[in-house]
Amino acid sequence: MTRAWLGWGAAGLGAVAVVATALSFVRAKQWWIRVWDFPRVQLFVAAALALAAFSWGDRHAGVVHVGGQALLGAVLLIQGAAIWRYTRLAPREVERSDRADPARRIALLESNVLQTNRDADRLAAVARGADADVMVFVETDAWWQERLDAAFAASHPHGLRCALPNTYGMLLYSRLPLEDARIDFLLQDDIPSMQARVVLRSGDRVWLNCVHPRPPAPGESDESLARDAELLVVGKRVCDAPLPAIVLGDLNDVAWSHTTRLFQKTSQLLDPRKGRGFYSTFHARYPGLRWPLDHVFFSKQFRLVSMERLDYVGSDHFPVCVVLSLEPDAAARQEAPAADAADHQEAQETLAEASTEVPAEGGKG
């Protein structure tokens, strides 16, 4: 009886893993399909547990049992292939910096504060401990701006403010001077992004882009089109830019999704997590259900000094802090992903579709 129940449990768990994995191959943009891009680690674990349970379960099914094992083996291979680049088993995409020139370094902190979170003191304490040069806070309304201004306006006098009540507000604080700092609304007039040239202590300029696109989720958007298109707009903007570029923010997408991989190819930016770990930032309260939604991508002229997921701040996201070193010789040693003809075609089609179908004012996509 125990083996029989174990077999049924394995079948149920395995069926979820198999169906979810199959749906992740569908290129449709509906949220209930795209959501299966996120839990690839969890699906890998589910398939492994189901496969192990099959070894002890009821084996009288014969062909069905063997077929189930084969499908679960395929799930393990597919999900493992998707996530392995973000484990320490894979080669690093970004080299570690061994130079100690603070004038050419930039420390960046990004945090989704959760608009309804009211533990501003805890967030401020964690952010002060990180001692970042540039800090970007998203999901910030007027309440958050008042408290973060009080905490950081003096120490980080340069910046941009776009507090909004719709969970897409964005606040930028910098102790380094900013040039041509501006707020953009790339696709929808209630979803801001920010860009600025940051002047390093050495006098070098780097181009900072901050984004927080609308996710494909119930109550937000029925499809991923708006998110996908906004990321591609930014990717095409920074590709071949005359200055070293940085893109950071809550992208509402995971590192291993097709969309983020296309963004990386289009932008030709590097991902410091490859070969180092997931650095999962969401959901901060549920250890078993976490994936990397908060990102920092940058040009190949940078090497990585450090990357850290910071402590809990009362939000559903952990903050992330990255320290980069601008080293022009790194460009010859680091290889950025590159888009081929099919990638460029897909990007163009997505942007064309978004230009006609994404509503200018939020709401369902």
Domain limit, last residue, from 27, 56, 86: 86
Task: State yes or no: cis peptide before 258, omega within 30 of 0.
Answer: no
Task: Count CB atoms within 10 A of the CB of residue 197.
Answer: 14
127 and 226 housed in the same domain: yes
Task: Give yes or no for a contact between 287 and 84, defined as CB atoms under 8 angstroms apart.
Answer: no
All residues at 6 or more sequence positions from 9 whose CB lies less than 8 Å from its CB, including other chains = 53, 57
Share of the chain above pLDDT 70, in %: 93
- From 86, 115, 138, the end of a domain falls on 86
DSSP 8-65: HHHHHHHHHHHHHHHHTT----BHHHHGGGS-HHHHHHHHHHHHHHHTTS--TTTHHH
Interatomic CA distance for residues 357 and 96, integer angstroms: 43
- What's the pLDDT at 365? 42
361 lies in a domain?
no
Residues in Cβ contact with 325 at an 8 Å cutoff, skipping those fewer than 6 apart: 97, 99, 101, 104, 105, 302, 303, 304, 305
141: left (phi over 0), alpha (psi -120 to 50) or beta: beta
* CA–CA distance, 49 with 52 (Å, rounded to integer): 5
Same-domain status, 325 and 227: yes
Half-sphere CA count of 252, side-chain side, radius 13 A: 27
92 within a domain of the structure (yes/no): no
User: Is residue 14 one of the residues assigned to a domain?
Assistant: yes
| CA–CA separation, 144 and 209 (whole Å) | 21
| Whether 214 and 273 share a structural domain | yes
One domain, residues 139 and 184: yes
| Structural domain includes residue 209 | yes
pLDDT tens figures, 97-124: 988 799 999 999 999 999 999 999 999 9
Pairwise CA distance, residues 13 & 43, whole Å: 9
- How many other CB atoms sit within 10 Å of the CB of residue 153? 14
Q: Sign of dihedral through CA atoms 310, 278, 338, 137?
A: negative
- The continuous run of DSSP H or E covering 173 comes out as strand 170-174
**Contact 186/233 with Cβ under 8 angstroms?**
yes
3-state secondary structure of 165: coil
Asked if 109 and 81 sit in the same domain, the reply is: no
Do 51 and 186 sit in the same domain of this protein?
no
CB atoms closer than 10 angstroms to residue 364: 10
Question: Could you report the per-residue pLDDT of 9-62, keeping only the tens digit for each?
Answer: 667 788 899 999 999 888 888 999 999 999 999 999 999 998 888 766 555 556
- Number of independent structural domains in the chain: 2
Residue spans of the chain under pLDDT 50: 1, 364-365
- Which tokens belong to 51? 């496969």
* Contact assessment for residue 309 and residue 301, using Cβ atoms and an 8 Å cutoff: no
CA dist 329 and 301 (Å) reads 7
In terms of domains, do 322 and 238 share one? yes
| Whether residue 293 is found in the same domain as residue 266 | yes
Q: Containing domain of residue 287, as a range?
A: 102-351
CATH number of the structural domain spanning residue 201: 3.60.10.10
Q: Are residues 246 and 154 in the same domain?
A: yes
Domain-embedded: residue 364? no
Note the pLDDT of residue 6: 57
80 occurs within a structural domain: yes
- Joined together, the tokens standing for residue 186 give 């790339």
- The set of residues, in sequence order, having a beta carbon less than 8 Å from that of 136 and lying 6+ positions away, is 108, 109, 110, 111, 170, 171, 172, 173, 194, 210, 248, 249
Task: List Cβ neighbours of 80 (8 Å cut-off, separation of 6 or more).
Answer: 44
Q: What pLDDT, on a 0 to 100 scale, did the predictor assign at position 99?
A: 84
Check whether residue 32 and residue 65 sit in a common domain: yes
Q: Is 73 among the domain residues?
A: yes
Mark whether 340 and 213 lie in a shared domain.
yes
Residues 110 and 79 in one domain: no
Which residue among 86, 116, 151 closes a domain?
A: 86
Residue 96 domain-assigned?
Answer: no
